[in-house]
Chain A
């Protein structure tokens, strides 16, 4: 079935450094969603990308959807301690996962002050 892989699994940065997490799918995605989960919290929707090559920005966060619609990235500029958490991508499942979202394993971001 369709898989959504995320790398890296963990990322430790100093406050002020940049951070990027990558999401790769084994199949073409019609769209991709990004979520953030703070420690002890629940996933919160950040953004959805639909178009090939689409780039969207939310303040210091930049989201990109690959031209082939099989990969995506989330880049955070000048991280802050409030950016700590796990970032998930999620895409439509295929095969036995058809019709439902498949979440990547997530990237756990730690920001050292």
Chain B
């Protein structure tokens, strides 16, 4: 099976702009979670989607949002970008929702200037 894919892999934006990241889960996986990874804060959970519904949300401002489509593909959006949003954004899929093993994609590295 193909692994989790994320696009784009690298992105440079300026403050105030918005960005949309895309994630395609492993075939048959219905849960998609998003994480932000930074050197200072480590891996932080953003949100989880299952069957097009957000099941859980981490402690991030409302500028961070996401959605899941009927084919389980997911997108996350960050509006009004701040310098501190520079990070590696990782998508992970699993067959079921909740505390399942996370299969991570390669990530999107976002740099905000």
Contact = CB atoms under 8 A, between A and B. Distances in A.
Where chain B touches its partner, the secondary structure class is strand
Interface of B: 33, 35, 42-45, 48, 55-56, 58-59, 90, 92, 98-99, 101-107
A27 interface: no
Interface stretch (A40-48, A58-66, A70-78): A40-48
A99 B56 contact: yes
A97 B33 CA distance: 14
Interface of A: 30-31, 33, 35, 41-45, 48, 88, 90, 92-93, 96-97, 99-106
Contacts of A30: 99
Given A43-B90, A88-B43, A106-B42, A101 B102 contact: yes
Closest CB pairs A-B (n = 7): A103-B43, A42-B104, A105-B42, A100-B56, A92-B99, A43-B104, A45-B101
10 contacts: A42-B105, A42-B106, A42-B107, A43-B104, A90-B102, A99-B99, A100-B45, A102-B45, A103-B44, A104-B42
Contacts, number: 52
Given A42-B106, A100-B99, A103-B42, 11 more contacts: A31-B99, A43-B92, A43-B104, A44-B104, A45-B101, A99-B98, A100-B45, A100-B58, A103-B43, A103-B44, A106-B42
A34 B13 CA distance: 33
Contacts of A105: 42
A99 B59 CA distance: 14
